[in-house]
Amino acid sequence: MRPDVGLFTEILSKDSVLENEMMSSHTTYKIGGPCDVMVLPQSVEQVKEVIRICKDRDIPLYVMGNGSNLLVRDGGIRGVVMKITRGLSDIKVCGNRMYVEAGAPLGGVVRVAYENGLSGLEFAAGIPGSFGGAVTMNAGAYGGNMKMVVKSITACDRCGNVMVLEGDELEFGYRQSVVRNKDLVVLSGELELVEADKDGIRSKMEELNKKRRAMQPLSLPSCGSVFKRPEGHFIGKLIEDAGLKGTTVGGAQVSTLHANFIVNIDNATARDVLDLIEVVKARVLDAFGIEIETEVITIGEDL
């Protein structure tokens, strides 16, 4: 049964509650069918209230950030999607500490760190997505990851109980965190960085962004890396050595620039991407005897 929109317009403004919203407008893949209801909370209290309403009425609830590591199936999502972005995006700096709300764009967090002469987030320059999403997935690149800089997070569970977690409680691993392991919702986090020369920080960011532009298909819609790195192997090289660069299913293609990217070259559907993922998995297994796993999160229903 479709959720009653009135339940949410009572606690959020009308323009923060969207019906039949196409998820293709909310993912970097530009793919995805409609969700029943999307809510855009502007405060922690609104987040907690949405969670309470959905729990009390047994309404399915999916929480997302900027949709940069998300593939939504073509039939869309039943229930409620809570998108935590601009409404919860404050960034504060105190010495070498940063306090960041979950909806802050990761690029904005990196920029504020640079402006305040704080080093440690250079690896994240150019990574799309929200701060909350980056914490959830322990986002990382070029030898850095969120585990190295996040000291604590404030989160809530699916009953709306708020908690502060730190140290080993964060359960950071390869594209893993306590947020994923225990189905929590990130509200904010505390980062510990290192004071450094701004010119050096900028130089490192420019170096990494130059590598990204040279190696990644940034001009085409994608979710970033599709497959996890198998231990002892570079996943992009495995896919390339299996002869898969440029392989196309419908409007989806294994990037000719970086083989661990599947790009949307011509109005790809989620089914195109999922079928291509299976082609890649089968070919790599056949060629090298290695079973590879996806890193992208896939949700929703088929048509």
Which residues are annotated as catalytic?
175, 225, 295
Angle at 62 between CA 140 and CA 274, to 5 degrees: 65
Angle at 199 between CA 198 and CA 200, to 5 degrees: 90
How many residues can be counted in the chain? 303
Q: Which residues contact 201 (CB under 8 A, 6 or more apart)?
A: 113, 114, 117, 118, 119, 122
User: From its phi and psi, is residue 141 left (phi > 0), alpha (psi between -120 and 50) or beta?
Assistant: beta
Q: Is 208 helix (H, G, I), strand (E, B) or coil?
A: helix
**Max Cα–Cα distance, the chain, nearest Å:** 56
248: its two tokens: 């196309």
Q: Are 49 and 11 in contact (CB under 8 A)?
A: yes
d(CA 24, CA 72): 8
Nearest to 222 by CA among 271, 181, 186, 273: 273
237: its two tokens: 């090289």
Give the bridge partners for 299, in sequence order: 72
d(CA 168, CA 6): 41
d(CA 107, CA 111): 6
H or E element in which residue 243 lies: none
Handedness of CA 89, 190, 179, 6 (dihedral sign): negative
